Amino acid sequence: MVDASSVVPPERVSSGSPEFDRVIGGGWVPGGIFLLGGQPGIGKSTLLLQTCGRMALRGLRTLYISGEESASQVALRAKRLNAACTGLDLFCDSDLGAALGALQGHGFFVVDSVQAMRSDGSEGWAGSPGQVRAAAQMCIKAAKERDIPGVLVGHITKEGRIAGPMLLEHMVDGVLTFSGDDYSPYRMLRVNKNRFGSTDELGIFEMSEEGLAPVKDVSGLYWNRAEQSVPGVAMTVVLEGSQPLVAEIQALANGTAFPYPKRTGRGIDMNKIQLFSAVLEKRCSVGCGLFDIYVNVAGGLAVREPAADLALCTALASAVRDVALPEKCVFLGEVGLAGEIRPVIRLARRLQEAARLGFTRAVISSREDVKAKKAPIEIIRAATLSEVLKAVMR
């Protein structure tokens, strides 16, 4: 038994990247194991090899265990990433017992990947649920015994789950996901579980030949200042964790030749396009049914938040009527089936960011509890979608 008040929190170990440290809650916690999941080729190995290199440069010996690539492959990559340095040791073999045996003297380790490792004494192929569970257990035990932090790379399945036993996410102290669009250099690091910190933070990195570098001013990243006066373009501010991002929703409406007009969405759920086309048709007499409609969120951003509904609706109406929306205006509201505009969470934060990036007006729900005088930009309130269209499209 211990007296809870006598326990001092362990000192965190910096990853060498302020961006990475922020996402994980201020650095690694000794003995803690994180799982990093992501699509093949997204940059998991790059991120962690760079991390090992940075930590080694700060004087902590790190061990990068790879069950997937040869030592010369990893060494070559480390060189390209400028991560090769004394103190970064490579162990390239799928024998996990031997790899963890080499941990002596190291202050941080990476296992790339947990599916590639074999552990003796457990049945099945490397990558089978039993083997993955045993491999994860061995890594967790090694980290706890030596009181050092570590990261396991986890492959993900087509459905986006980390491959292996369901229990894997429960066994580790934290789960990180690394994601991004195939055609964009930007990568998002999210934390889905963290026993040592919040799960709110998001890190955005840019991939280049020299590896991943943090993006400094991310909120305007997915938005093209030049295209605002084109019909079909509407702006909004979404939140990724606590990070506000300006999102540009582009809709294109083209007279249809089909009995069932086409609806296509990139970065936005197609069901939403269908639903709001119906709401616009029924509540605002916007004739969406006569058009094929394509919607795209600029920059490869994926928008799921209800707060972006109003921007999607105005983009659709603007495209169908072929009238541009006012410039420097953001739309922040959830839209219901009756065409009513509902409040969004953390409105003040979004308004602040829109103002910082040079927007001058925001259209919001009339039910929002915000003092117009205190708002950083001009506020236009509306109760319904048709009120919004009257105000912004003449």
Ligand X SMILES: Nc1ncnc2c1ncn2[C@@H]1O[C@H](COP(=O)(O)OP(=O)(O)O)[C@@H](O)[C@H]1O
In the complex, which residues of this chain contact ligand X (CB under 6 A)?
38, 40-46, 80, 207, 209
- Do 78 and 54 contact (CB within 8 A), yes or no? no
User: CB 81 → ligand X: shortest distance, Å?
Assistant: 9
Our CB check for ligand X shows the closer of 212 and 268 to be 212
User: CB 40 → ligand X: shortest distance, Å?
Assistant: 5
Our CB check for Mg ion shows the closer of 45 and 115 to be 45
> Tokens 């026993």 appear where?
195
45 contacts Mg ion (rule: CB under 5 A): yes
Our CB check for ligand X shows the closer of 79 and 282 to be 79
User: CB 44 → Mg ion: shortest distance, Å?
Assistant: 5
Our CB check for ligand X shows the closer of 232 and 299 to be 299
Our CB check for Mg ion shows the closer of 91 and 294 to be 91
User: CB 17 → ligand X: shortest distance, Å?
Assistant: 15
Q: Which stretch binds Mg ion (CB under 5 A): 19-27, 41-49, 85-93, 249-257?
A: 41-49
- Do 27 and 21 contact (CB within 8 A), yes or no? yes
115 contacts Mg ion (rule: CB under 5 A): no
**H-type alpha helices, 106-263:** 129-146, 168-171
Which of Mg ion, ligand X, none does residue 41 bind to, with CB < 5 to 8 Å depending on kind?
A: ligand X
- Give dist(CA 168, CA 152) in Å, integer: 11
Q: Which of 127, 186, 140, 154 has its CA nearest to residue 45?
A: 154
Neighbours of 35 (CB within 10 A): 26
User: CB 250 → ligand X: shortest distance, Å?
Assistant: 26
Our CB check for ligand X shows the closer of 44 and 272 to be 44
Which of Mg ion, ligand X, none does residue 121 bind to, with CB < 5 to 8 Å depending on kind?
A: none
- Give dist(CA 1, CA 10) in Å, integer: 18
220-237 as b/e: b if 16+ CB within 10 A: ebbbeeeebeebbbbbbb
- Give dist(CA 94, CA 118) in Å, integer: 6
User: CB 5 → Mg ion: shortest distance, Å?
Assistant: 44
- Give dist(CA 233, CA 266) in Å, integer: 14
Using only the alpha carbons of the chain, give its radius of gyration.
Answer: 25
228 contacts Mg ion (rule: CB under 5 A): no
Please give the residue ranges that form the binding site for Mg ion (CB under 5 A): 45
